[in-house]
Amino acid sequence: MMSRTAPLSVNVELLFREAGDDLGERIRAAADHGIGTVEIWSHSDKDLDGIRKALDATGSSLRTLLVEGRLTLADARTREEFLGHVRAAAEAAVRLGCTRIVTGSGVGLPYMKRAVQHSVVVDALKAGAEIAAAHGVTILLENLNTRVDHPGTLFDTTAECLAAVRAVGSPGLALLYDVYHSLQMGEAPERELAGSVEYVSHVQIADLPDRTEPGTGTVDWAAQLRTLRSLGYDGPIGLEYQPTTDSRTSLRAIEAIAAAL
């Protein structure tokens, strides 16, 4: 069972696939297992009414969905398209009772100085944050690793993501701290988040090196969750991993760790 101090959130694009292709059924399966907080990726290709019915029927909540597009925010020419995607994601989130929409910075531009790119991205995020806040939702800027999963991404460190969130200075923008990506970049959460946990609106995890379930890799998750709690993060721990076995079995290790905190 989960503890109150470390509730779990599951990405139903990856977990509870045993319930079938319908995300509503996966949400019901997660709820039957005792997990009432879920996450999804895209929204434009989903049956939003079906998802909403499953959320309502189970009393579950949707923690996050994505701002679609994967645009290069350092290229100012993508600004209006990005804002359109923010608006669409915010509207979908409102329909689903979700208050967090996730984006990355997109890839960097080799012909532009990094400081200039940072400024252009901040301007895009500032405009996006205004749209998000007007809908009552928050954009979460996610740190993504360039060593394994997202080569070329501009903001591949937690520090640069936090710098952007601080620069925007809006309730419409916060940090999604992905521990998996952070550890892949050789970061230590206790250093990256020290004095900055107030900017963290959500956390996601997966084990290293292969983004599988906690307990199958090299990370001491009991220590990592204790660190997050000691820093002041008390929200759900998002599980965004590729299970190596059935979903329920894959959850056992992290559920035991969470319950012991």
pLDDT in tens, 69-119: 999 999 999 999 999 999 999 999 999 999 999 999 999 999 999 999 999
Could you give the 3-state DSSP secondary structure of residue 115?
Answer: helix
Please say whether the beta carbons of 121 and 164 come within 8 A. Answer: yes
The tokens for 74 are 């350092």
96: alpha, beta or left, given left = phi > 0 and alpha = psi -120 to 50? Answer: alpha
User: Mind listing the pLDDT tens digit for each residue in 133-152?
Assistant: 999 999 999 999 999 999 99
The residues facing 138 across adjacent strands are: 100
The neighbour count for residue 18, using CB atoms within 10 Å, is 12
User: Mind listing the pLDDT tens digit for each residue in 172-196?
Assistant: 999 999 999 999 999 999 999 999 9
Check whether 40 has a pLDDT greater than 80: yes
Check whether 4 has a pLDDT greater than 50: no
Nearest to 97 by CA among 166, 176, 2, 27: 27
Whether 199 is in a domain gets the answer yes
* Confidence at residue 6, expressed as pLDDT on a 0 to 100 scale: 66
Whether 2 is in a domain gets the answer no
For 176, phi then psi, to 5°, come to -95, 110
Please say whether the beta carbons of 48 and 58 come within 8 A. Answer: no
Q: How many domains does the chain have?
A: 1
Whether 3 is in a domain gets the answer no
For 167, phi then psi, to 5°, come to -65, -40
Check whether 5 has a pLDDT greater than 90: no
The residues facing 207 across adjacent strands are: 212
Check whether 50 has a pLDDT greater than 60: yes
Pairing, β 61-66 against β 138-142:
unpaired
pLDDT band for position 261 (50/70/90)?
A: confident
* Confidence at residue 150, expressed as pLDDT on a 0 to 100 scale: 97
Please say whether the beta carbons of 108 and 154 come within 8 A. Answer: yes
Beta strands per DSSP E along 148-190: 173-178
Start-to-end CA distance of the chain, whole Å, equals 12
Domain that holds residue 210: 8-260
User: Mind listing the pLDDT tens digit for each residue in 8-22?
Assistant: 999 999 999 999 999
Could you give the 3-state DSSP secondary structure of residue 225?
Answer: helix
Q: What is the pTM of this model?
A: 0.96
CATH code (residue 193):
3.20.20.150
